[in-house]
Structure 1
């Protein structure tokens, strides 16, 4: 059997590797970027995918171009540029010269026009030998079912908090029940944009710092278990405010990446008790003397023009997913989205689905995400039903791992469409094999 490239092609990150491996070879930004200032943009090249992760890459004021917009592929040429870079630089393969199959993870409800454009890139421009298309909920279910040694592993409710959308998708026997999928038009991109707006309004203008604020969001945001209480605590001044922390932006000279100025300060919220007082304990990371010294140096650096302070922004940003209506959005929150997805299925599946909720996607990595979701779900469902929420061990790689498992199965080749079939029948007829 030919080697299989597994490509989880997300709007924010592209995960690529080979079927049968546990982890992808590359997890890179699915975009290209270069400095947006007119003086330097003419002389500097666009950085593609992994080049943005280089230690010396300065991400300040980058102009970003993405192949995806609002969850769907809109620029196949740009996508091909990213894929070329990933295949040749990270995976070190060339589909045009060696017989490679591709397992591609596509968004749910991908329009036919996007499917045709994708197939053209895969077969005509890149030269893959065969193609299999899958969606993320079915692959997450496949991977989690393979890990469950006992219990009901036939169905699950996959909650995928992705870059553009959040989906609640029922999966039965490795097939996503499309009629039951419910979507929340919020994802990691919207959260980053909201953080940019809050910081720009309250502190310094960071509207052009998408990549830097994306990192700040991942480092500092968390989910509140009691929003009114935390809003009151966030009004305190100085050290009495358990959420106050400082994020330092790159200066382009001593450091090219943003960082949290005082990690211990940023983690104080973890020691909060339900009444708002602190138990005085936070998890302290043991460090060798050199590392501790470097951290102390960072705290002392005076970069007042290059840093900003966060307080309630840290939990107001993820709050969008749970209570979008509070922020003026005409959207149901995540808990209601899940309930609607379950209730669209046969009543016999309801108790099993509520007991088999699986969280995947980068936004589920916010501290206390699962705990808050259970708090929101419990009042909305019958007392007869149990609620069990599982967060994948690595929500970023979970979909890819399911794809790797599928690509190494004995039946994989029979699930693919070949280049010869594509040339004979065209994209639309071939795609019927994937039930899309």
Structure 2
């Protein structure tokens, strides 16, 4: 069993990061975790839409996730098949019976949904060995050990569906301190789409364009009121796609503005750039932009918890002696933490909330890994210790001997 290949799949709701452990040459491939349908009615799996169409307008995404839970294996299995075909080398088919699989799922996944995943892994694909965990639990294995104390680490994992706060003590999840903020890339995209469609152009059928605008123009304000008063100074021009010179659009600057056609459509963005990401710190912005809730007195008086509040709550629910250590080792992971100024804004907010004699340190860049790939590289580094990974994994023989509930008993979150 020592000659098994280790395959790490970070099964994110936006992208799947997958790849084999190849030592220092390990790199993940990214597969869009969706089945798409273009305007001309063609169906694409994974990344196929990127090469089969030049017009992304009107594209529809069907994702196997709902509220962060993997609910549709009818949608997910073709994407996994596509992923395994693409992760293979030299056109050689992947044989799951020779593979040790390390797979991620979201925290507090419903047990029945986790059991469905286990059945697919062993009964449909027939992987030889299998370890399932949540993505933030792998982050301590990919951080810079010279700066971060991995024995006491607080992971802020902000992805497409939501943001999770996970305290890790001696590489173990302290489940009593786990908190969730239902704000992620998907919600930010929806809010930006509504604002742009109301103020400028109807972009209700352009999800790829909205995501591109968010990633290339949005940033976290250091002083929200000040920036709101000076929003004209923060104006940004985004060149919309004409599907001749560009299919995705780009931010206009001195370099690329010389040869623009005379009929180029330009979208001018002002306070949208920092109002949308501000949702992490003021979730009530969501209700202010909804006609049904903006005038509702019950909603307006409700105490919504923001990201700093939940982080403080998470730290305070951990053993007292570990609290200052956790505040000094806060690690950011997930694609949504790539928003400009995220680290500095979060640090400033936490210093206001936590005791003044505590050190607050937030880390974002880790050993040149991308934020959204930290968990995948953590899985690769974990798999370097074959004995440890073998001890915590379940073999196909164990699964069929003990039954479907055996995986949940070994991998599931502990009741809190």
TM-score (structure 2 length as normaliser): 0.88
Q: What corresponds to 1:385 in structure 2?
A: 358
In the alignment, the residues of structure 2 paired with residue 20 and residue 154 of structure 1 have an alpha-carbon distance, to the nearest angstrom, of 27
Task: Within 5 Å, give how 1:184-199 maps onto structure 2.
Answer: 184-199=181-196
Counterparts of 2:141 and 2:118, CA distance in 1: 25
Residue 292 of structure 2 corresponds to none
SS of structure 2 residue aligned to 1:167: strand
- Contact 1:19/1:403 (8 A) holds in 2: no
Q: Bigger shift: 159-168 or 420-429?
A: 420-429
For residues 99 and 53 of structure 1, do their structure 2 counterparts lie closer, same or farther at Cα, with a shift above 3 Å needed?
same
| 1:142 matches 2:154 | no
Question: Partner residue of 1:117?
Answer: 116
* 1:326 shift after superposition: 4.1
Q: Distance in 2 between matches of 1:104 and 1:257?
A: 32
Contact 1:48–1:85 (Cα < 8 Å) also in 2:
yes
What's 2:389 paired with? 412
CA contact (8 A) 1:115 1:427 kept: no
Aligned to 2:9: 7
Question: Structure 1 residues 33 and 249 mapped into 2: Cα distance closer, same or farther (>3 Å)?
Answer: farther
Q: Note closer, same or farther for the CA distance 1:125–1:301 as it changes in structure 2 (3 Å cut).
A: farther
User: What is residue 264 of structure 2 aligned with on the other side?
Assistant: 303
What is the CA–CA distance in structure 2 between the aligned matches of 1:141 and 1:151, rounded to whole Å? 9
**Normalized against structure 1, the TM-score is what?**
0.84
Contact 1:29/1:52 (8 A) holds in 2: no
Residue ranges of structure 2 left out of the alignment (5+ in a row): 288-298
Pick closer, same or farther for the CA change 1:66–1:52 going to 2, 3 Å: same
C-alpha RMSD over aligned residues: 2.0
Structure 2 match to 1:17: 19
| 2:315 equivalent to 1:342 | yes
Larger mean Cα displacement after TM superposition, 218-227 or 329-338: 329-338
Q: Please state how far the C-alpha of 1:134 moved relative to its aligned partner.
A: 1.6
2:253 paired with 1:263: yes
Work out the CA distance in 1 between the residues paired with 2:305 and 2:22. Answer: 39
Correspondent of 1:320 among 250, 274, 279: 279
Q: Which consecutive residues of structure 1, in runs of 5 or more, have no partner in the other structure?
A: 235-240, 265-291
Secondary structure in structure 2 of the residue aligned to 1:324: coil
Corresponding residue number in structure 2 for 1:34: 37
Deviations 1:123-171 (A, max 9, x none): 2222211210121222112222xx3137743111100111111011100
From 395, 398, 401, the counterpart of 2:374: 398
Distance 1:150 1:33 in 2: 42
Distance 1:21-1:242 versus aligned 2 partners, 3 A rule: farther
Q: Is the 8 A contact 1:195 1:217 kept in 2?
A: yes
